[in-house]
Amino acid sequence: MQLEVLTKLNAARRSRRAAVVVTDLASDDTRVVLEGEAASGPLDEEIAKAFRSGKAGTVEVEGRSLFLNVHLPPPRIVVIGAVHISQALARLAPVAGYDLTIIDPRTAFATEERFEGVELIADWPEDVLKDHPLDAYTALAAVTHDPKIDDFPLSEALRVGCFYVGALGSRKTHAKRVERLKEMGRTDNEIGRIAAPIGLDIGAASPAEIALATLAQIVQAFRRRDLVTAG
């Protein structure tokens, strides 16, 4: 492998872009293909498959043995709202291997004391997401109940294709939210992706149980995302 190849790969990984390293096992020729970049010929299909499955493996293309190593960004969760549910979710997420960030402009909620050791940003989502953009390997959970805070990140999550978008609120609340998101330019298909009410239906009642149901739903969305994109 050439240093330029490794440098390009590491730069992609640092900026949370998916990449596939293609190694010709006979000639030691190596290159990096970033997600969204076109590769040439029949290799294209194999690379697309690798991006979807996230699994490394050897493929035979035109008589050559090629090893495809997939580097997907680690999944993370962005929570809008430093509420009681978020306190539980912030503890559960690392156990399941997910990084987690909480955004809430209300400084009464977003306190160090309530969220010790958690990445917590006490600012408006509009401002925070400029520096920390959402991406396809991010799950977004909006749990403030406040349209002024929730709506923008929800719309943004649908626009960039976050693998999971969930919103807290009753069916009635959600119906009003759907109308607002349409006015913000989101399509019916996009809006249909929102998990609302949030969380798998396990009869969750307490904030901790709702956090658990939400995390389970996020894991389900992540592990099955290849089936969704492939379909």
Q: Are strands 99-103 and 119-121 parallel, antiparallel or unpaired?
A: parallel
Closest CA to 137 of 18, 43, 21: 18
CB 142 within 8 A of CB 150: yes
| Cβ count within 10 A of residue 65 | 12
Interface with other proteins: number of residues (CB under 8 A): 19
Contact between 124 and other proteins by CB under 8 A: the answer reads no
- Cα dihedral 159, 109, 92, 181, rounded to 10, equals -20
Give me the 28-47 binding string for other proteins, x by CB under 8 A, dash otherwise: x-x-----------------
Contact between 23 and other proteins by CB under 8 A: the answer reads yes
Contact between 56 and other proteins by CB under 8 A: the answer reads yes
Contact between 6 and other proteins by CB under 8 A: the answer reads yes
Contact between 25 and other proteins by CB under 8 A: the answer reads yes
| Tokens 């089936």 sit on residue | 227
Contact between 53 and other proteins by CB under 8 A: the answer reads no
CA–CA separation, 60 vs 48, rounded Å? 15
Among 42, 44, 55, 220, binds other proteins (CB under 8 A): 55
CB 200 within 8 A of CB 220: yes
Among 34, 48, 61, 67, binds other proteins (CB under 8 A): 67
34 pairs with which residues across the strands? 19
Query: Stretches 2-10, 152-160, 181-189, 190-198: which one binds other proteins (CB under 8 A)?
Result: 2-10
Contact between 58 and other proteins by CB under 8 A: the answer reads yes
CB 34 within 8 A of CB 40: no
Contact between 229 and other proteins by CB under 8 A: the answer reads no
Chain residues in the site for other proteins (CB under 8 A)? 1-3, 6-7, 9-10, 13, 23, 25, 28, 30, 55-58, 67, 69-70
